[in-house]
Amino acid sequence: MKRNNLYTPFNISLAERGIYDFTPEVFDDGVIISNMFCDFLFLSREEFFEFIKNGYSTSNILLKNKLLENRFIYETKSSFIETSVDVYRKLKSFQFVGTVLHIFVLTLDCNLKCTYCQATAGSHNCANKMSVYVADISVNRAFETLSNIIDIEFQGGEPLLNFPILKYIVDKSNAMAKQRDKTVSFSLITNLSLLTDDIAEYLAINNINISVSLDGPKDLHDYNRPHSLFNRSNYDDIVRGFSTLHKYYASSRGRISAILTSTKKSLSRIDDIIDIYEYFNLDTISVKPISQFGLAGHNWDKIGYTPSEFGDYYYDFLKKLLNRNIANRSGIVEYHARMFTQKITNKTSINHMEFRSPCGAAIGQITYNWNGNVYTCDEGRMLAALGDDTFSLGNVFDNSYDAMMRSNKVQAIANASHLESLPDCSYCVYQPLCGVCPVYNYSKYGDLYRCIANDYFCQMRKVVFESYFKILFNGSSESKNKLTEWGNT
């Protein structure tokens, strides 16, 4: 180990060595480097010092090709800049399309009382439902977006408790999309407890994507997601619901997927969870930590975990999924790992609101509450449910889409989530893949900008990235190949 060399300042002249901007971080026995083009490389310590010392002039041809291919060194500056512009532009193209995701909160009522509910739902008093009047104006506002593609997502509470309004919004949006030459798609987040044949048929005909909350086997799922009024099993609802959906979705363009929420009890149940997802023929699992909003914060002792516990869980989850893929036992992919691969290998502009810089608040997504109030994002709406209206942009009656987008709040949030200019984040090797949540920062620290390296949010992100790169760089060749293949699915 050449430890003594480490303490000497590098004192390098980058331009002379054809080295471009990069971020280094110690990773296992070597160094991981990244740049603004979402290129990542793992170098041994010897390779890293050779790179720093000689840059483009290195005599190690293998290393040189690797560095050139990934834009860490260049031969001539002008042609490097010229060819890199479009890669960067492609990665950031989500910034130029306007708000794509429009979340409609059809009701706050819910027939479940989930242990981690972020929407602080659970009531069943029929008072908090979106009216036709609010729905009508909200759709008009949604169609004021600059984006030619509009994705309307129905959320709650349980949105099927207000199915007539869902139908109204779908029918009106389809008509408006035709008039204005836009493309509209729909997603429904549901617990399936209220699904009937008529509803399933309507959803299938209108190609509505279905996202079912499914936490794993019956005991785990029902522990996390108990009914609020009746002593019945939501898992049984899901079994019935999937069978009804499959009847009608055979010829629909709508996709059926599921959302996994992992609690403390999930950590030791990875195989059981994957088995259930295979049983229901699902093709994706999104393994993400619970957010601390709403009831989750109150129940943290019962359901929460530390970042290192979650990191071990995520790493084992990825390994088990990849092993099943390699053995052809399963075709299920992990959502985040696929997204990272797509960004790294294809430079695809992934419009995932939580993993982009600036974050998607208002400029990527907008939330219309049941009563017509508009929020930057669903997290902003959740905070409002707890009594803090900071992330309100106004309401659909008084404020146009344009006026809301030009508000100081939207600018402040975009600035606060711009990782490239946040002190801790800008120097982080994982920054090209990451994103921050100003609502989280504000609710935890009372400050939009207070993004502290190594706080809970940051640590949760880091353990996920570390697990992913541990497999991508140091895993078996089959695992690496499979992970790379996921980027093309």
Partner 1 sequence: MVTSFDFDETTKPENYIFNIVTSNNDFEALHHHIMERIQFSYLRYEISQKTRTERELIIGRALYRSCVSVNEEE
Residues 196 and 137: their CA atoms lie apart, in Å, by 28
Work out whether 22 is an interface residue with partner 1 (CB under 8 A): yes
Nearest CB to partner 1, comparing residues 214 and 419: 419
For residue 421, the 8-state DSSP code is G
CB of 427 to partner 1, least distance (A): 5
Residue among 271, 220, 268 nearest 116 (CA) = 220
Q: What binding mask, one character per residue, do residues 1-20 give for partner 1 by CB under 8 A, x or -?
A: --x--xx-xx-xxxx---xx
How many whole angstroms separate alpha carbon 347 and alpha carbon 84? 12
- Hey, what amino acid is at 464? V
By CB under 8 A, which span of 127-135, 192-200, 291-299, 423-431 interacts with partner 1?
A: 423-431
454 binds partner 1 (CB under 8 A): yes
Distance CA 210, CA 401 (A): 27
483, 475 Cβ separation under 8 angstroms: yes
Indicate the residue among 89 and 329 with the shorter CB distance to partner 1: 89
* Count of residues that bind partner 1 according to CB under 8 A: 37
Provide the mask over 369-408, with x wherever binding to partner 1 is found by CB under 8 A and - wherever it is not. Answer: ----------------------------------------
Nearer to partner 1, 118 or 431 (CB): 431
Q: Of these, 30, 54, 88, 113, which contacts partner 1 (CB under 8 A)?
A: 88
Q: How far is the CB of 436 from partner 1 (least distance, A)?
A: 15
Kindly report the number of other CB atoms within 10 A of residue 107's CB atom.
25
* Closest distance of CB 221 from partner 1, Å: 34
- Decide if residue 24 touches partner 1 (CB under 8 A): yes
String of contacts with partner 1 for each residue 434-453, x by CB under 8 A: ------------------x-
Q: In the set 77, 240, 329, 406, which binds partner 1 (CB under 8 A)?
A: 77
Rounded distance between C-alpha atoms, residue 171 and residue 156, angstroms:
19
Encoded tokens for 376: 């930057």
Tell me which DSSP letter residue 160 carries.
G
| 473 binds partner 1 per the rule CB under 8 A | no
Q: Toward partner 1, which CB reaches closer, 159 or 360?
A: 360
Q: Are 200 and 256 in contact (CB under 8 A)?
A: no
The answer to whether the CB of 241 falls within 8 A of the CB of 192 is yes
Q: How far is the CB of 19 from partner 1 (least distance, A)?
A: 8
Is the distance from CB of 452 to CB of 324 less than 8 angstroms? no
Q: Which of residues 38-57 bind partner 1 (CB under 8 A)?
A: 52
CA angle at 25 for the pair 342 and 435, rounded to the nearest 5°: 45
In this structure, the number of other CB atoms found within 10 A of the CB of residue 179 comes to 9
Note whether 92 binds partner 1 by CB under 8 A.
yes
Half-sphere exposure at residue 150, Cβ-oriented, CA atoms within 13 angstroms? 27
* Nearest-approach distance from CB 268 to partner 1, in angstroms: 23
Judged by CB under 8 A, which of 46, 69, 85, 403 binds partner 1? 85
Q: Identify which of residues 141 and 462 has a Cβ nearer to partner 1 in the complex.
A: 462
When the beta carbons of 19 and 166 are compared against partner 1, the nearer one is: 19
Of 55-63, 92-100, 109-117, 388-396, the window that binds partner 1 (rule: CB under 8 A) is 92-100
CA atoms within 13 A on the CB side of 68: 14
State the nearest-atom distance from the C-beta of 76 to partner 1, in Å. 12
What letter does residue 45 receive in the DSSP assignment?
Answer: H
Amino acid found at 143: F
Q: Which is nearer to partner 1, 81 or 205 (CB)?
A: 81
Q: Tell the smallest beta-carbon distance from residue 311 to partner 1 (Å).
A: 13
Nearer CB in complex with partner 1: 44/484: 44
Angle at 351 between CA 440 and CA 221, to 5 degrees: 60
Q: By C-alpha distance, which of 366, 378, 396 is closest to 138?
A: 396
DSSP 254: -
Residue from 54, 60, 84, 244 touching partner 1 (CB under 8 A): that is 84
Query: Does position 21 bind partner 1 by CB under 8 A?
Result: yes
Residue 305 Cα distances to 225, 265, 310, 391, angstroms: 18, 10, 7, 28
297 counts as binding partner 1 under rule CB under 8 A: no
Is 9 in a helix, a strand, or coil? Answer: coil
For residue 142, CA distances in Å to 23, 101, 399 come to 39, 9, 12
127 contacts partner 1 (rule: CB under 8 A): no
Omega prior to 55 cis, within 30 of 0: no
> Least distance (Å) from partner 1 to the CB of residue 182?
14
Residue among 179, 133, 147, 101 at smallest CA distance from 396: 133
Applying CB under 8 A, which of residues 28, 69, 76, 96 lies at the interface with partner 1? Answer: 96
Looking at residue 105, the DSSP 8-state letter turns out to be: E
Region of 120-128, 152-160, 376-384, 424-432 interacting with partner 1 (CB under 8 A): 424-432
The residue (of 99 and 263) whose beta carbon lies closer to partner 1 is 99
Residues in touch with partner 1 (CB under 8 A): 3, 6-7, 9-10, 12-15, 19-26, 36, 52, 77, 80-81, 84-86, 88-89, 92-93, 95-96, 423-424, 426-427, 452, 454
